[in-house]
Structure 1
């Protein structure tokens, strides 16, 4: 079996722009993957990197030799060593599509090829519900909605502010004044009052503040019973993360902007992080996250794959969720599909299975989802054969 064709899609879906890849073999089997660059800048760059990789290193190759092909891309593209999200998002999408092909060819889910399942369903936390909110009252009303749907864990961005476009904007220049700090505290206070004591709260501050300001604000939030603090500092500044961890009681989550097992090495050695959040779509792919999870187990850390993209990314995350012992919870965006220009990239949308805060693991071959050809075809960015 050989790979004969690649199609790259740059999709406009609501506020997101997921980058998808479809690989086709000479036996007619297809596999899909997603580059984890569905928000922020870089979607076009990731699509271009995918085109370069597929042209130079993927077409004509045996899709079953996944580790070999990924090693070739890492060793011989030059920029992968020490590289960042664009190169690893492309490698991740290719690697995921190869696993999807292999699973479909063998008529088995990917998790069965990685040791089998620990679980049939996974707990999820709701993200994305606070976009467009500004005041503590708006924040509290928005947070009550996912709880009413059955979610018992929420993640939010108390430092986020509404931009002119209506989207959320993070803190700039690592500084806030006293009024902004009070607003961030009061948002979480109002949310806690609205959802009650039994709902777990995760606060993502996106590395937005100085070390001292972060410690000061987290200590105020701790009176409100916070489950995790995510990205308390720039993920490259692991010394700051260690300092913050030594001064607060709330566990730290980190990892969506760290790439490959090499990138996670200092995180492990710091022993400052309780919950790792590698993104299968930008850290190297399914097997890379499996390896990172195994390393995390040695350091007594739990894993929550980061997902902020299309349903292909979620399907890939669920394969890992199923087969690692130290999985904790899965991120999801329950309201993403409500946006007017949302595109369902697959027919079997995993988020549709969410009930009472639990999501089902797909049981079909490969990723367990199939590309929605009619929906994604208009967004074809490039073809390589």
Structure 2
């Protein structure tokens, strides 16, 4: 872990307080007083949070620029860490500009700083896309800073927790580009169970399926539909009825195809069918839902609570899956979950980031009553990069029951390992310079 993670090298809080060392020295210490003195001496002492100021912001990118990592520095040697994903390529100048704007500000004003940056970009794309995905990384780093400054985990800042650990499902990364067979679906489902998972997800869209009419037509042929069904049923038969299975179509089909596929999947008993059509037309989702018992889920390409409102109001989906590293950050993720709760909709966030993003998302999952399940990636187990680029206390990520324990450390509980990440840095992008 790099040297900037020395979170406790700050001036004594008590030396600046009216109840500081001078006040205690003036009191005659009896036996009880000595006990109080000993307790004070054993307590970690910090500068007053009101004196905290942001001094710098630095960024680093990996995975071709599709993953943005942010570090925010302060005058008390506390460093906040955050991550944005997918829609962040080419955002370095935008984020560094926000960093200059944040200098001298108190990072504990998380909502205020987030709102100011959002409001300033009303005519610069602050409603969705790259602006919000990049802002999510900055906002997450502010939460991390606030938790460290106040010596509490982020879930406590979000109002406390409903649960100590969050259930996760494994994305198998069995990508359709390789045209996997039903037998490979069965093997991947079993591998997830071998990793102690109780739920697993597969991709169904396949651009190079020989049965496709062409690469541009969104209508699924009957051959494609039969291929999807055979793959998913093989997975179901392998793991049995007690393991939850989801299917992702990445919004790459049209309405009649989505209706057919949703009905075809009913015997598989899916936990959900994800993004059978693009998410921007809530009424189209309503049409699908009216014709199937297969639950529908969407949300990874929606931004802010505003984008989810109509889905809830017309009853278009069964659960929602915002990506908190894209949708605007942790505070916005909680607002989306709370809005969903008003309509009795489960919250099942999408998550394709590092373990830092996973733990940040888990704090939000712990803080809301309607949490259902969170996405987890098989590459956390099989690609060493994902352990090299972060630092945290402990060695195991998920427990033996397929749950992610929520960190009780101050802040998020996972930090960027700058030296470990350096060899994966994206050429042409800044790297914490």
Same fold (TM over 0.5): yes
Match of 1:140 among 173, 186, 190: 186
Give the equivalent residue in structure 2 for 1:11: 62
Give the stretch that moved more between structures: 44-53 or 337-346: 337-346
Aligned to 2:71, what secondary structure does the other structure show?
strand
2:198 to 152, 164, 183: 152
Instruction: Tell me whether 208-217 or 350-359 shows the greater mean CA deviation.
Output: 350-359
Q: Give the alignment partner of residue 46 of structure 1, picking from 67, 88, 91.
A: 91
Task: State the 1:342 CA deviation.
Answer: 4.8
Q: Kindly tell me: are residues 342 and 291 of structure 1, through their superposed partners in 2, closer, same or farther at Cα, counting changes over 3 Å?
A: closer
Checking the alignment, whether the CA contact within 8 Å between 1:7 and 1:23 is kept in structure 2 is: yes
Among residues 185, 188, 193, which one is paired with 2:229 in the alignment?
185
Residues in 2 aligned to 1:296 and 1:206: alpha-carbon distance in whole angstroms: 22
Secondary structure in 1 aligned to 2:224? Answer: helix
Does residue 162 of structure 2 align to residue 111 of structure 1?
Answer: no
- Name the structure 2 match of 1:216: 260
Which structure: larger Rg?
A: 2
- Kindly state the Cα deviation for residue 355 of structure 1 after the two structures are TM-superposed: 2.0
The alignment status of 1:24 with 2:69, answered yes or no, reads no
Distance across 1 between alignment mates of 2:254 and 2:207: 18
Once the two structures are superposed, residues 149-181 of structure 1 have per-residue CA deviations (whole angstroms, 9 ceiling, x without a partner) of 221211111233679xxxxxxx75413322222
Which SS does the other structure have where 2:349 is aligned? coil
CA spacing shift, 1:217–1:224, aligned 2, 3 Å:
same
Indicate if the aligned counterparts of 1:51 and 1:382 stay in contact, CA closer than 8 A.
no
Conserved? CA contact 1:129–1:146, under 8 Å: no
Asked if 2 retains the 8 angstrom alpha-carbon contact of 1:7 and 1:21, the reply is: yes
Q: Give the C-alpha shift of residue 303 in structure 1.
A: 0.4
Give yes or no for contact 2:160–2:367 (8 Å, CA) kept in 1: yes
1:168 corresponds in structure 2 to none
Aligned partner of 2:20 in structure 1 is none
Structure 2 unmatched ranges of 5 or more? 1-51, 210-214
Give the Å deviation of 1:362: 0.7
Offset at 1:341? 5.2
Aligned residues: 371
Shift of the 384–182 alpha-carbon distance from structure 1 to 2, 3 Å rule, reads: closer
Deviation at 1:340, TM superposition (A): 6.2
Q: Which runs of 5+ in 1 are unaligned?
A: 164-170
Preserved contact between residue 10 and residue 17 of structure 1 (Cα < 8 Å): yes
Whether 1:329 aligns to 2:370 is no
Q: Which residue of 1 aligns with 2:277?
A: 233
Out of 85, 102, 119, which is 2:146 matched to? 102
Change beyond 3 A, Cα 1:384–1:347:
closer
TM-score by length of 1: 0.90
Superposition CA RMSD, Å: 2.3
| Cα shift readout 1:4-56 (whole Å, capped 9, x = no counterpart) | 1111110139xx9421100001111100111122xxxx44223343223223x
State how 1:45-84 maps to structure 2 within 5 Å.
45-55=90-100, 57-79=101-123, 83-84=127-128
Mapping for residues 306-345 of structure 1, pairs under 5 Å: 306-339=350-383, 342=386, 344-345=388-389
Matched, 1:261 2:305: yes
**CA spacing shift, 1:9–1:186, aligned 2, 3 Å:** same
Secondary structure at 1:44 match in 2 = coil
The answer on whether the counterparts of 2:354 and 2:386 sit within 8 Å (CA) in structure 1 is: no
Task: Name the SS for the 2:430 alignment partner.
Answer: strand
Q: Is residue 290 from structure 1 mapped to residue 341 from structure 2 by the alignment? A: no
Q: CA deviation at 1:188?
A: 0.7
The whole-number CA distance in structure 2 between the counterparts of 1:307 and 1:35 is 11
Contact 2:66 2:89 survives alignment (8 Å)? no
For 1:172 and 1:327, locate their aligned partners in 2 and report how far apart those are by CA, in whole Å: 36
Alignment counterpart, residue 166 of structure 2, candidates 122, 134, 141: 122
